[in-house]
Structure 1
């Protein structure tokens, strides 16, 4: 028997109310609801839908959010630490400065999201994908983007230390002033990426990568040399 669907619209939702509905095994759809600052930690919310919701400062610590759908939600400083977001979908969400520490993000998708300052330490990421996302100043240390097609990702000023970009293809996007200590770019295609701010000391990290003649000229000028 399919789970009954309960839609909650334009309301401020409490944890007690959610727990009561979950006790009836309901599939919850949150439409334009206010969940700001709510404690939703450890709840089983798998397959629930969040659309146009305010979740800023909410805690989803260790919650089961597998196969959830998030559309145009606003969640600055939301806490997803240690939650299960396997196969979750985020579209058009503002999740600036959110914490994803130790989150399971296998096969999760972020499309058209603002993730400025977000922290992705120690996440499980097999099959994780980003598209047209702002990751400015985000903490993405040691994440793997190997062989990925990176469409419109702004990594400006992000911490990419130890990241693996081998064989990745950058379709637009930016690495301007990113922190790339120990990152790997062998065989990456960087011709469409903004490489502004690259320092001579970092140039060896791009050995084996492909850049355009324009980018090469910009890098030479950044080193204080004149192109004749």
Structure 2
């Protein structure tokens, strides 16, 4: 196995990245590097590791980033649109207001990441996993979470239109005031999440979904009914 070349506390622009790719294909690690505003579109960085890097506003459009790892990176407003990210891992990263439209996210894991305002519409792939993530006001239209175990996900004010949560189990987190037009929750277990603002009385979308007595009383109260 090739020993990765390690780059520490360097400023990496497109030209420098191209040099690294040529010299160390699939075997580069970046530690506390600065990539802010860089354009890395369409470059092949498959298998690269990024640890504690600053990459605010960086562009990774249509880049090859399969099996890449991102740990404690700060990437507000970065753009991964149309990037190939299969089997990648993001842990403890700040990715607020990032863009992922049409990215391939098969078997990608997001652990304890900030994705407030992120745009994830039209992404493709299977086995996409989020755990303990902030997805407040994110655009997740059309994503499938079917049969997923959703731990600590805050979907407050997110656009979940057309999402599939059938048979999903929510553990903690929030769906407070999320947009759920044509969203499917049939068979979902919602007892352990905040469902304030959801119309769970719409039987068509919530058939066999499980909610607690407290949640049921709150839902009825929202319709002006009193549970005696």
Indicate the larger mover: 87-96 or 215-224: 215-224
Counterpart of 1:17? 16
CA 1:200–1:108: 2 relative to 1, 3 Å: closer
In structure 2, C-alpha distance between the alignment counterparts of 1:216 and 1:209, rounded to whole Å: 11
Q: Deviations over 1:35-55 (max 9, x none)?
A: 000011111101100010111
Q: Offset of 1:125 from its aligned partner?
A: 2.5
What is the alpha-carbon root mean square deviation over aligned residues? 1.3
Counterpart of 2:30? 30
In structure 2, C-alpha distance between the alignment counterparts of 1:178 and 1:38, rounded to whole Å: 33
Q: Offset of 1:204 from its aligned partner?
A: 4.5
Q: Offset of 1:14 from its aligned partner?
A: 1.7
Structure 1 segments (4+ residues) deviating >6 Å: none
Say yes or no: does 1:116 pair with 2:120: no
In structure 1, C-alpha distance between the alignment counterparts of 2:70 and 2:190, rounded to whole Å: 31
TM-score (norm 2): 0.96
Say yes or no: does 1:89 pair with 2:107: no
Q: Deviations over 1:65-91 (max 9, x none)?
A: 000000010101100001100000000
For structure 1, list consecutive stretches of 5 or more residues without a partner in the other structure.
Answer: none
Q: How does 1:69-108 map to 2 (within 5 A)?
A: 69-108=69-108
TM-score (norm 1): 0.96
Q: Report if the CA contact (8 A) 2:5-2:24 is conserved.
A: no
Q: Offset of 1:205 from its aligned partner?
A: 2.3
Q: How does 1:40-189 map to 2 (within 5 A)?
A: 40-189=40-189
In structure 2, C-alpha distance between the alignment counterparts of 1:80 and 1:48, rounded to whole Å: 15
- What SS class does the counterpart of residue 30 from structure 2 fall into? strand
For structure 2, list consecutive stretches of 5 or more residues without a partner in the other structure.
Answer: none
Q: Offset of 1:201 from its aligned partner?
A: 7.0
